[in-house]
Amino acid sequence: MSVAFRRESDEEHKEPKFELPLPPGPNLVTARGRAMIDARVTALGVAIEQERDDAAREVLKRELRYWNTRQTTAILAPLPDGDEVAFGTRVTFRMNGKERQIDIVGSDEAAPATGKIAFTAPLAHAMIGAGAGEQLDYNGVPDAIEIVAVARAEGEPEA
């Protein structure tokens, strides 16, 4: 029989479902980030139990596998001392004449629109290890960043 007359199942035409990609490198988290991951795992477990549609449940299970992996591999970063820019710090800096404030956090907690950037971001890399008053080169521009102040990020416990 010719292939042209063969009825193919719908399954043959679907794109394969790959696992959600994990960010490279260690899974450093703040205390707030760890709590966020734990809450996400719990919420997904509840959603899977309540979901009646098989396809939607499979999507939720895929997402749960991602968050279970992130939960298992999470490494709680040591609390920063607040004297220099590090993971878990809030940095006030001046760049291009504008003063801004960011928190340096883990990959899953990052939300640039709200001022939380991943420790793996180029801006964070440029700042890590610097203290208040330092001028830093960034993106090929000398003295592009001035560190104004460094403190623990919001939500991080005091020592």
Sheet strand arrangement including 116-118: 116-118, 98-105, 89-95, 141-152, 135-138
pLDDT in tens, 60-89: 999 999 999 999 999 999 989 888 999 999
The CA-based diameter of the chain, rounded to the nearest angstrom, is: 79
Token pair, residue 55, equals: 């396809």
3-state secondary structure (DSSP) of residue 11: helix
Question: pLDDT value at position 135?
Answer: 96
User: What does pTM read for this prediction?
Assistant: 0.80
pLDDT in tens, 96-107: 999 999 999 999
Question: pLDDT value at position 5?
Answer: 56
Token pair, residue 78, equals: 């040591």
DSSP symbol at 145:
E
As a three-state string, the secondary structure of 54-117 is HHHHHHHHHHHHHHHHHHHHEEECCCCCCCECCCCEEEEEEECCEEEEEEEECCCCCEHHHCEE
- Sorting pLDDT into bands at 50, 70 and 90, what band is 7? low
pLDDT in tens, 111-159: 999 999 999 999 999 999 999 999 999 999 999 999 999 999 876 555 4
pLDDT in tens, 15-55: 667 888 888 888 999 999 999 999 999 999 999 999 999 99
